[in-house]
Amino acid sequence: MRDNFDNRLFKMAKREQMILPGELEEEIDESLRRLTAKGIAKSRKKKRMNFRRSLILAAALASFFSITAVAAAGALKQRMDAMNKEKLEEYFAQIHSSFMGADNYNRSYTDEERERMDELRISYEEQGLFPNGELTMLDEAEDYKGKNVAFFKKTSTFFFPEKEMSDEELLQIIDFYAKREYSLRKMNEMIAAGETDFPKEAKPQVPSEVTDSSVLNSSAVFQPEQALTIAYTGDLSLEAVAAGTDCILLAGRNTIHRMETGSGDSALFYDGFDENTLITAMCQDGEGNVYAGLRKEISDEGWEVWLAVIDKNGSLLREIDMSDAIGGKEGRGNIRQMMADDSYLYLRGIGFSGADFLLIIDKEGNTVSRMTSRKYFADWIYGMCIGKDGKPYTVVSDENHRFGIAAINPEKGTLEEVYPAIVSGDTISLDLIGPGYDADFVLWGYSGSFSFNRNETAATQVTPVYEMPCPVEGSLRLVLPDGRFVFIHCTEYRSYTMKNGDEGHERIPEKTYFYYLPGIRNS
């Protein structure tokens, strides 16, 4: 045990990169000579010497830890301050121009890497242990060849080698984080002080290649393996979108449009709502009827939740007050997701009284069942769909936050046919699920897109998140009946004044683009 204590102290000294002054080193040696001159038995001398030397070294380290900590802090500050304006702007632009709102990884850290990462971060911050090199910056994800660590700026993705990362590689990642955070803070200070302009490289990027809306007349629209980018030519500032049976439904603040798949333009479907109505979700049944979740503002402090039913020709059939079931009068409830089968509507959202899982109603608005589960959980953001077999399905997570899917029994309000933990443990949510083209289901979450068959135990990744064609944060998204994902991203917003006087922001229609992403695993 004493030898281990001795070894730990010397490791600490090495980590601190301490060089003892000559006078102190001589004092330690002299103390040891005095200790050994008192007739200590030779058989016990080594252990006693090591222990006493450890005590003396421990005292020396205690004296110098504060000195080295101050020195390390100064070295770290010098390292950050040494970045020139070009380097600061480079890190700053990466943060603002990335397609993603968070970092992504081609693989997870191993447990051993996480442990060393924590230790090295302390050494980096408190002892001035810096890497010899820097991360490799990639222009394209395909440029990564599997060696060392690299970073793809477009999608904020770290690429790690398959083998265990070295301390140097982990330090490069830590150094990157530190410089990026420092650059964000420093650039914001400089911009606020008028010392520099907002870098143009940091502004949202407009797609370099946009397919003209005339693509609707080509076969590309009907090929599920075809990726498309379509510029929106309609006039709606989009608030919500949904896949119809043969179209895409678009909602502005109080207006619903209908758009042909692959088109850039949209046509009015219904605009008879009050001006203070916000459309929060939509769906369409097999008969063509459209259902819309509404938030009707009744005061500066609250709103009512309603359900509108519009026939396939754009005529309002009825409105149903859902406030008591979803958040109460002047509450804070919202219908955020909807789907319909031949008999029922399935609603998910915020503020569902006693129905955190799912609310199932008939077409007249009568409650059929409220779903809860003791074993599984479903947040309002988790996807749901009508499968190829006509059954309703929902994404669920277990107590370990592993994501799977399950069929819904609407009459009983229970789950059945549960397929648990079908994606890896580091997958972040599954917000979309729909019928697949060459699989039973396609799914999308913040780790990318997947496909899944019910006879399988795990889903197959189709597109990793770092290959996304557009930014995910702030985008609207849906799944088409043919298994394609559609992401709607706007590169520029404009401000407006809300009823209560607050400033709101809305998407500028002419800065909005539709991205079609195949969900085929064998493409």
Query: What is the side-by-side strand order in the sheet with 432-435?
Result: 432-435, 441-445, 448-452, 460-464
Q: Mean pLDDT for the chain? A: 82
DSSP 478: E
> What is the band of 337 on the pLDDT scale with cuts at 50, 70, 90?
very high
- The pLDDT tens digits for 175-199 are 999 999 998 899 888 888 888 887 7
pLDDT at 52: 47
Report percent pLDDT > 70 for the chain.
77
Q: Which residue type does 45 have?
A: K
Element (H, E) at 258: strand 256-259
**In a 3-state reduction of DSSP, which class is residue 148?**
coil
- The pLDDT tens digits for 413-429 are 889 899 999 998 888 88
Question: Whole-structure pTM over 0.85, yes or no?
Answer: no
DSSP string across 210-252 = -B-GGGGGSGGGG-TT--EEEE--S----SEEEE-SSSEEEE-
The distance from CA 472 to its chain's CA centroid, rounded to whole angstroms, is: 8
Distance CA 325, CA 430 (A): 26
Using an 8 Å Cβ cutoff, are 288 and 312 in contact? yes
Q: Which has the closest alpha carbon to 98: 158, 181, 159, 154? A: 154
Distance CA 289, CA 282 (A): 11
Element (H, E) at 495: strand 493-497
Element (H, E) at 192: helix 167-192
Using an 8 Å Cβ cutoff, are 513 and 227 in contact? no
Distance CA 5, CA 330 (A): 65
DSSP 19: -
Using an 8 Å Cβ cutoff, are 465 and 157 in contact? yes
Q: How do 104-105 and 157-159 pair as beta strands?
A: parallel
Using an 8 Å Cβ cutoff, are 386 and 342 in contact? no
DSSP string across 262-326 = T-S--EEEE--S-TTEEEEEEEE-TT--EEEEEEEE-SSS-EEEEEEEE-TTS-EEEEEE-TTTB
Statement: residue 369 has pLDDT above 60:
yes
More confident residue, 145 or 98: 145
Q: Which has the closest alpha carbon to 230: 512, 473, 520, 507? A: 512
DSSP 443: E
Using an 8 Å Cβ cutoff, are 261 and 250 in contact? no
**In a 3-state reduction of DSSP, which class is residue 139?**
coil
Which whole-number Å values give the CA distances from 312 to 249, 250, 300, 387, in the listed order? 12, 15, 34, 22
> What is the band of 75 on the pLDDT scale with cuts at 50, 70, 90?
confident
**In a 3-state reduction of DSSP, which class is residue 185?**
helix
Q: Which has the closest alpha carbon to 491: 203, 280, 185? A: 203
Statement: residue 411 has pLDDT above 50:
yes
- The pLDDT tens digits for 460-493 are 999 988 888 888 878 999 999 999 999 999 988 8
Extents of the domains making up the chain: 2-81, 89-202, 272-372
pLDDT at 23: 46
Element (H, E) at 361: strand 358-362
> What is the band of 2 on the pLDDT scale with cuts at 50, 70, 90?
very low
More confident residue, 36 or 363: 363
Which whole-number Å values give the CA distances from 286 to 261, 347, 503, in the listed order? 17, 17, 39
Q: What is the 3 state secondary structure string of 60-104?
A: HHHHHHHHHHHHHHHHHHHHHHCCCHHHHHHHHHHHHHCCCCCCE
Show the tokens assigned to 359: 């609310």
Statement: residue 439 has pLDDT above 60:
yes
Which whole-number Å values give the CA distances from 349 to 89, 253, 325, 519, in the listed order? 40, 18, 11, 26
